[in-house]
Amino acid sequence: MPATIRAEVITIGDEILFGQITDTNTQWISTELTNIGIRTVRKTSVGDQADVILDALREATTRADVVVITGGLGPTKDDITKRTLCQFFGVGLVRNEQALDLVTSFFLKRGRDMTDLNRGQADLPENADYVQNDWGTAPGMWFDHNDTVYISLPGVPFEMKNLMTHRMLPKLKERFEMPVILHKMIRTIGIGESFLAERIEAWEDALPPHIRLAYLPSFGQVKLRLTATGTDADELTRDLNEQVAAVLPLIEQHVYGYDGDEIEQVVVNQLKEKNLTLGVAESCTGGQVAATLTKLPGVSSVFVGGVVAYSNDIKHIALGVSSESLARFGAVSEPVVCEMAEGARVMLGADVGIATSGIAGPDGGTPDKPVGTIWIACATATGTTAKLLRLGQYREQNITLTTTYVLNLLREQLKKESSIKDFKL
């Protein structure tokens, strides 16, 4: 097995140090490095001053085989990063013709005049390998110096991610002899981390040493990430598939997808497969279920729309919930949430309807129905299923969890019903 390649990520920018902007780059970069088998050993953020950048570069050199530098390449800060790199490597700036062509064509296309400042964007440290940035005007740079690779990237996430994905990561894989690392993610829902761990304990203990397991919990979900390390990709793929097949029978009812599948994409795929349409009726989630579905491009072929029925009047008028049920059981009740789901089907003209009604908090709780009491339902042509959730006291958390759980209820119902005609209106 080749030796571990160690990386350090350096972020440059006063605005990050002072907390003015959220740095999403470093997490993304270290995830990508991990995925190709490079181990991040340190992350550092420094300000826009040459001396502190030089310090960080010198320190990183003692620890890392790869130093990834982001930021400090904007139009106004252009000089500081490039000049500091020149100082660090003991070289001068030279104009790069390829970079100049790119900047020139960028301005030509937009019919704008180019200034010397713009032309300066094509000046690179002498020892830089120019890495073409097709997503902006700041150049990507690659330095191979005394056995350490330095990568300089713009801080704009869109440009940085494209440069890393399409240029730098392939170059790194070529430059270093690295172990093959493969990942497989099993996505579960509706079971807590400790219960899951208990259920798969024997399987986990029997994992071979080259496969590691990580539990990644998030709202209402736990992702199991298997990481296999070795030298042969086919062999590792086979090993991973074997382990997934072994653990699946223990947790099958909770598994909704693999790798990048989000729950909303999974249910939209189910709906598309079965040629069914969906309507939603939301009270306590207040539009979050609809908004989560709407984020998916092309969802309009299965998602007809929804009603956010905050008031009882709208539950009655727009969803056809009976005034009697509302009066007798209250808005947060099994009968009402079922009528809402059925209303979403019938009134919106969809094949399937889902609904939420509950007390998201912080106010509105009673001894009988404390904050966190939430009903969800799913109505199809064959019947309606409701479920009671007992959640916590935090409003936003309750909304997020309810959204996930009602989508999961829909997934379960769609899985049960194998025949399309059972569903159709």
Residues 326-385 that bind its own copies (CB under 8 A): 347-349, 360-363
CA–CA separation, 366 and 376 (whole Å): 19
| Binding residue (CB under 8 A) for its own copies from 12, 46, 338, 389 | 46
Q: What are the phi and psi torsion angles at 49 (to 5°)?
A: -120, 135
Per CB under 8 A, 43 contacts its own copies? yes
CB of 365 to its own copies, least distance (A): 12
Task: Please say which residue, 101 or 259, places its beta carbon nearer to its own copies.
Answer: 259
Task: Please say which residue, 128 or 302, places its beta carbon nearer to its own copies.
Answer: 302
Per CB under 8 A, 52 contacts its own copies? yes
CA–CA separation, 421 and 55 (whole Å): 68
Which 394-413 residues touch its own copies, going by CB under 8 A? 395-396, 399
Task: Please say which residue, 280 or 336, places its beta carbon nearer to its own copies.
Answer: 280
CA–CA separation, 125 and 93 (whole Å): 4
Contact 342, 365 (CB under 8 A): no
Task: Please say which residue, 118 or 288, places its beta carbon nearer to its own copies.
Answer: 288
- The stretch among 124-132, 233-241, 313-321, 405-413 that binds its own copies (CB under 8 A) is 313-321
- The stretch among 23-31, 87-95, 132-140, 411-419 that binds its own copies (CB under 8 A) is 23-31
Q: Give the single-character DSSP code of 351.
A: S
Per CB under 8 A, 297 contacts its own copies? yes
Per CB under 8 A, 287 contacts its own copies? yes
Give the rounded distance of the alpha carbon of 297 from its chain centre.
16
Q: How far is CA 363 from CA 24, 352, 369, 392, 394, in A?
A: 34, 32, 11, 12, 10
CA–CA separation, 257 and 400 (whole Å): 19
Task: Please say which residue, 249 or 298, places its beta carbon nearer to its own copies.
Answer: 298
Per CB under 8 A, 20 contacts its own copies? yes
CA–CA separation, 57 and 52 (whole Å): 9
Please tell me the count of residues contacting its own copies according to CB under 8 A: 72
Task: Please say which residue, 270 or 285, places its beta carbon nearer to its own copies.
Answer: 285
Per CB under 8 A, 135 contacts its own copies? no
- The bridge status of strand 255-258 relative to strand 278-282 is unpaired
Per CB under 8 A, 294 contacts its own copies? yes
Contact 37, 66 (CB under 8 A): no
CB of 129 to its own copies, least distance (A): 26
* Interface pattern 197-226 for its own copies (x via CB under 8 A): -----------------x-x----------
Contact 208, 390 (CB under 8 A): no
Q: How far is CA 360 from CA 52, 313, 367, 370, in A?
A: 48, 19, 15, 9
| Binding residue (CB under 8 A) for its own copies from 4, 27, 231, 382 | 27
